[in-house]
Amino acid sequence: MTMLNRRVPITSVLNMRDLGGLPVAGGVIASNRVFRSGALAELSPDDAELMAERGIQTILDFRTGSEAASAPDRVPSGATTELLDVLSDSPAAAAGNIAELLADPPRLAAALGDGHGATMLRGSYREIVSLPSARAAYARFFRDIADPSREGALLFHCTAGKDRTGWAAAALLTMLGADEATIHADYLQTNDDFLPAMRPLLNQLEAAGIDPALVLPVMGVEESYLEAAYAEATSTYGSMQGYFTTALGLDEGVLDAVRARLVA
């Protein structure tokens, strides 16, 4: 299955794709088992029906409590949702309000110019590996996948479906034995699937005299962000296996159950 045809043909949710078809150790991820996306706050009735047809019954939301409260998910009929707040322990989660920066061009230039945007994102990725709230959220993510009582497919998301969701997908693919090229290709697909939807905003910024290049590092993804997360996991826990077992507290039974559920 190519990167292109893993996209789910819906218009009201950004950055949605099926992880099915990606090659992993011992096979491929089965189609219609696990999906990633941006937030579901604008999910249309027609798209909700399509998601229900795909069998999506569990929604895992990595957003903060305030994000979820201000833009609640709409979910397919019969689906349940669970908030897994990755950033609740981050002192920067509330302060790093990009919307406020966009309304203040001088502050925007100071905060994101001269490479500061990319540096900020690399720091955020280190946090989503090491924060206690992040470790708890991702541990629950894997346990929910492994849980045999959860029927149907599972969808996980944050706001844009690129950072908190991007690490979840990369960690899952790593656990399943995908190679680096596969992991990076899925991660970087966000730049094709999400950034085009941001073009109107970038045009507005340009019309207001703000260089769109300032915000691209925080609107898209770069390999260096993902590598910062892997480096944090390796330096702190010795390896990704150490991250799974020590940071997330997952035993072999959970890891085996994840593989059994997803790999065809």
pLDDT tens-place string over residues 187-206: 999 999 988 888 888 888 88
pTM score, whole prediction: 0.94
Rounded average pLDDT over 160-172: 97
pLDDT tier at 100, thresholds 50, 70, 90: low
pLDDT band at 213 (very low <50, low <70, confident <90, very high): confident
**What count of other Cβ atoms lies within 10 Å of the Cβ of residue 225?**
23
Give me the mean pLDDT over the 41-70 stretch.
96
The pLDDT value recorded for residue 111 is: 80
Rg (CA), the chain: 18
Average of per-residue pLDDT across 53-63: 97
Instruction: Quickly name the fold that domain 4-262 has.
Output: Protein-Tyrosine Phosphatase; Chain A (3.90.190)
DSSP, collapsed to helix, strand or coil, labels residue 164 as helix
- Tell me if 99 sits within 8 A of 201, measured CB to CB: no
Mean pLDDT taken over the chain: 92
Q: Where are the domains of the chain?
A: 4-262
pLDDT for 142 beyond 80? yes
Q: Which two tokens stand for residue 138?
A: 């991702």
| Secondary structure of residue 95 in the 3-state scheme | helix
Q: How confident is the model at residue 149 (pLDDT cuts 50, 70, 90)?
A: very high
> If pLDDT is split at 50, 70 and 90, which confidence band does 96 have?
very low
